[in-house]
Amino acid sequence: MTYEIKNVWSILLRLFHWSLVLSIIALVVTGLYVNTPWTNTTLEGSVSFPMATMRYIHFVAGYLFAAAIAVRLFLYIFGNRQERIWDILPITPRNIRSFVTTLGYYSYISDRHDPRLGHNVLAGSTYIVTIVAAIFQLISGFYLLFPEAGFWQGLGNGIFGSQQQGRFVHHLLMWYFILFAFVHVYMVVWNDVKSPEGLVSSMINGKKFKHKNA
Amino acid sequence: MWCGAFRLKRAGNPLSGPVCQRRMTLVDHKKGVIEEMMMEEQAGMVKLSSSVSRRGFLKGCSLAAAALGLSEAMIPKLLEAAESAQRPTVIWLHFQECTGCTESLLRGSHPDIGRLILDIISLDYHETIMVPSGHQAEKSLHDSVEKNSGKFILVVEGAIPTAENGNFCKIAGRTAMDILAEVGPRAAAVIALGTCASFGGIQAAAPNPTGAKGVQELLSGVPIVNISGCPPNPVTFLGTVLHYLTFKRLPNCDKMGRPLFAYGRRIHDHCERRAHFDEGRFAEEFGDHGHKNGYCLYKVGCKGPETFSNCPAARFNDVDVWPVSVGHGCVGCTEPDFWDTMTPFYERLPEVAIPGTGIIADADSVGKKILGVAAAGAAIHAAAGIIKSKTKKG
Ligand code: HEM
Ligand code: SF4
Ligand code: SF4
């Protein structure tokens, strides 16, 4: 068999991806700590500041997360062909076909595989949903961080209501990201096993392997 | 005299260190003398109860100035406004409520604040404390609205039920909705006193059978300020009234219509237990080591991090306490829908109700279950794939 190496993901997209991974891991761990601080310093004057430190990491990771989302939104419009939103939005006939084909492929109904370079549309659609969830997570996060700032107060209040409601949504969305991460990793590995084209490594070196005559 | 009585009260308060110490030494060395002093001071306070002394007046205004965040230089201006001959007419309407706001204002252990307010306003109609009743009372409401149209301050206490044409609350045969619709638009400004008048309060808790609403949802075209709280702090109310008298307008408000001088900051950001929060020292349950040592109440459900109010600074009842200072978490009473969103009071977040299943549980146990289902799904999916490829080969 002969393969062809294709450049698929730009360096910016890969940076986005790994920033998101890193920030989500940090945010989930520190976020869970903020919700239920599992340590309890009974020693006074220990100057360990676990809660302050966890919150600090959460906020730094929050900014990284925000930056990553901004980069992805930029790439949806100005990225390469695979990165643009038209490649994955399930509204064109070509994309709807990919969506249905992939559904059949994932559920073992058919062996037909969408051979496109970028995301298949089923995966791509869940990424769009995830970016939208991330935007809400951002807004609720900044609403909690800057409750007195007019801009965030207006936005947060309009979308979520009180601080407590914003916090509740923020917490529920955390579970969306945990679930997404789990399903995402499983599906990527599954795809890599089923149709070897270097899917996992493509997010590291940006390249995929394609059948020459496919 | 009054000041003496004040100090006497503080002496009994363990939080006020220096005064307390002074009392101790006095007790140690001249026991007899101090007891005499206390008697005298208590008698002084009884004497005072009929009117506000000059001292009480000054003190009330200073308290309000401090709450408003005004400098000392502004106190004479406040006094001038408070003492001016034209006392504003106030009409006070009670709707769907427990009267707790009035109670805490007038019958708290800080009588001067309540009396001070009654001194600087002309209260034309207030069902709890006015003398007339029946037709006479209705007449005085009507007369006052006519006479002071466009000039009076309207204070509303309690929510307004709107379901079934508002029939759930009627006064003199008229619904709260009707009364508010008639009196409200003719006021110069409206003060919604308490969480019920501001946001609906407990009456509006799900499923809100009477369709209870706060004033701001039903009235427009009139400046409205929300003094939320269950009950609100009398100092905040006094501050708002004095602000209006001094500057001729309502104070600046947040997005929910609450004055920023009192609701501009989260409880958590000026709580005396905050150092324990940052250092990760928590009460795990009531009565444990952490609780006895005054650690942060976050893990027993304190809603200070999501509640805007001046409780840690203004405090209550003239004995310098507020819930967190005596070991109970904040329940978030100044926030809209607090009966729905701040409960369970001893947990951090509300519970998740999964529609159609009757399941009500906390978010994390639901999340873990869903994650478990997803993991099982993935395992089945993987197994199906393996079986399929095996059978195909075979
Ligand atoms: C995937 C992204 C994120 C996850 C999973 C996450 C998770 C969490 C969790 C679980 C909490 C605790 C809420 C509670 O139960 O009380 C929390 C709190 C918070 N998060 Fe996030 N978060 C994320 C993104 C962000 C972002 C982007 C910001 C913005 C900078 C942010 C700012 C905050 C703030 C300010 C708090 C409140 C901390 C406190 O009051 O002590 N979060 N987060
Ligand atoms: S007791 Fe409540 S308001 Fe005070 S620091 Fe702890 S969580 Fe915050
Ligand atoms: S401490 Fe919290 S619950 Fe208590 S009065 Fe203040 S805002 Fe309301």
Where does ligand 1 bind, in terms of residues with CB under 6 Å?
A: A 24, 27-28, 31-32, 34-35, 55, 58-59, 62, 65-66, 137-138, 141-142, 144-145, 167, 170-171, 174, 177; B 305, 348-349
Q: What percent of chain B has pLDDT over 70?
A: 85
Closest residue of chain A to B283, computed from CA coordinates = A40
- Judge whether B296 and B282 are in contact, CB under 8 Å: yes
Longest dimension (CA), chain A: 70
Residue to substitute from B226, B278, B299, B370, interface A, most A β-carbons within 10 A:
B278
Q: In terms of Cα–Cα distance, which of B264, B254, B176, B259 is closest to B215?
A: B176
Angle of the B17-29 helix axis to the B31-48 helix axis, nearest 10 = 130
Q: What is the pLDDT of residues B331-345, one digit of tens each?
A: 999 999 999 999 999
Q: What percent of chain B has pLDDT over 90?
A: 53
Instruction: Please list every residue in chain A whose beta carbon sits closer than 8 Å to the beta carbon of residue B349.
Output: 35, 164, 167-168, 171
- Domain spans of chain B? 3-263, 267-348, 359-393
Q: What is the pLDDT of residues B240-290, one digit of tens each?
A: 988 998 888 899 999 899 999 999 999 999 999 999 999 999 999 999 999
Do residue B298 and residue A37 have CB atoms under 8 angstroms apart? yes
C-beta contacts of B319-322 below 8 A and 24+ residues apart: B319/B9, B319/B10, B319/B12, B319/B13, B319/B109, B320/B10, B320/B13, B320/B15, B320/B16, B321/B13, B321/B15
Report how many domains make up chain A.
1
* pLDDT-wise least confident of A139-148, B98-107, B208-217: B98-107
Q: What is the pLDDT of residues B319-370, one digit of tens each?
A: 789 999 999 999 999 999 999 999 999 999 999 888 888 788 889 999 999 9
- Judge whether B150 and B186 are in contact, CB under 8 Å: yes
A143: distance to nearest CA of chain B, Å?
A: 11
Residue B82 confidence (pLDDT) = 79
Among B281, B336, B364, select the one facing A40 at the smallest CB separation.
B281
Task: Give the ipTM.
Answer: 0.91
Residue B52 confidence (pLDDT) = 67
Residue A65 or residue B106, greater confidence: A65
A63: distance to nearest CA of chain B, Å?
A: 21
Residue B107 confidence (pLDDT) = 64
Among B264, B278, B332, select the one facing A51 at the smallest CB separation.
B278
Residue B341 CA to ligand 3 centre (angstroms): 14
Contacts across the A-B interface (CB distance below 8 Å) = 115
A164: distance to nearest CA of chain B, Å?
A: 5
Four-residue CA torsion sign, A101, A104, A105, A110: negative
Q: For residue B16, is pLDDT > 70?
A: no
Residue A194 or residue B48, greater confidence: A194
Angle of the A163-194 helix axis to the A11-35 helix axis, nearest 10 = 130
- The secondary structure of residue B272, as a DSSP letter, is T
Residue A98, domain CATH: 1.20.950.20
Could you tell me the fold of the domain covering B267-348? Answer: Cytochrome-c3 Hydrogenase; Chain A, domain 2 (4.10.480)
User: B213 CB under 6 A from ligand 2?
Assistant: no
Domain range B3-263, its CATH number among 3.55.10.10, 3.40.50.700, 3.40.50.720, 3.40.1390.30 = 3.40.50.700
Q: What pTM, to 2 d.p., does this model score?
A: 0.87
Q: Which domain holds residue A57?
A: 3-211
